[in-house]
Structure 1
Amino acid sequence: MATLSVSSGTTVDEIAARIYRISTPVEIPGGSGFSFNQYLIDDDEPLLFHTGLRKLFPVVREAIERIMPIDRLRYVGFSHFEADECGALNEFLAAAPRAEPLCGQIAAMVSVSDYADRLPRALDDGETVSLGQHSVRWLYTPHLPHAWECGFLMETESATLLCGDLFTQGGSHHPPLTQDDILEPSEAFRRKLDYFSHTTSARAMLQRLAELQPTTLACMHGSAWTGDGAALLRALADSVEHN
């Protein structure tokens, strides 16, 4: 990845009850802006989903501490093994002595058990973890959009799908939560970079996610989105299948 420069301050916004989007805008030399989002669920057993790049750890840490002391973190989760997903994992484990990496069985087997300074809690497909008032369910989605170990977390109380790289939107500045169309801009971004694996199982996995009836989609890049998540996921399946 090209050298990144932070173009302005990291922002923190509540997108659902006690679920916070932490977003850092960056500029990529020779390219356009981009954003890296993490999601913090502040509960009895707080969860951070995505760590951000290792070099962004200081600004993400500062953002978390606007909400709660960082040493309260209990879980550090991510969709798949990639620098922007878990690059700062060990920095967070050092700052939060009780925190465990949270990932799927495949990620634990192929990468995380070796990389992480603390053994991960490896989840089976469909396994649920209680955080207190919130609960998250691991959904194994191999190669959707990429990586064998890929999966997402569904926060069941607020119907928030922590959907990783699905619906990635380019650009560095976005509203924290929108009802506007994110399918067209995210699909334009996908077609330009072709970061999907084009797995033959994509439609079935997107349909399974749609059946959960999410009302908030917590995207890793760009705005989070609120509305009929089932319809949007099915529209993504149509678009990926035909384009």
Structure 2
Amino acid sequence: MSSGKLADKVAIVTGGGSGVGEATCERLARAGAAVVVADINLVTAEQTAERIRVEGHQAIAARFDLLDAESINALAATAMARFGRIDVLHNNAVNNAPEVFHRDGGFLEMDSEVWDKIFAGNVRGQMELTRAVVPHMIAGGRGGSIINTSSGAGTNGQMTMSAYGASKGALNSMTHYMAVQFAPHKIRCNTLILPAVLTRGLETLFTAEQVERLINQSLLKEPTRPDDIAAVVEFLASDDSRVITGKLWAI
């Protein structure tokens, strides 16, 4: 039997093969959770899962594509088949493919196809996975915790990234609706509003100068690292936060 504040809980973490998701999978496992490492890149997902297993914790890898309904339903089914329940869902994956991300500009020049792809990956995918997971949480009768990943772009306007920012704003609003509708089943839903987090992925999207500028925009002028976010996810996944739901956590 596992020990720790997440003992005997089962957690799905999307985007678990790298960055924030990777750090979160490792942290939740060390806190006692059995972890489903879900990522579009099955190789990196399996690498994360294997590191967790080497440490003596439970983890499996699953390929997951936010844009593929079959993949979304299969992820929930895989978790249930392997562990028999789902207690935590960390909707962490986003559609940040460079060929889409770098075409996200101002509203007047926005390509509607880019807009649709970003919303599909950053809103619909999370909604569909939540709908696939919550019935299992309800049937389990133990409640649960859903933790969405948003961004400061969803609360602050800027000259570019219109679709990305609007999609994150939609996710923020969706969190409130989920919290209200799932509360009768003791299922909580909260969202993390992230700053620029120092990951390998960030370096592929922004120049070093842009990253430095993003860090300097924070109050503490300190870089945010993946494990900083993972620590907050661990708290929201645990019973320590059992009365917290419908909140936007700006980090």
TM-score, normalization by structure 1: 0.38
Select the structure with the greater relative contact order (CA < 8 A; seq sep ≥ 6): 2
TM-score, normalization by structure 2: 0.37
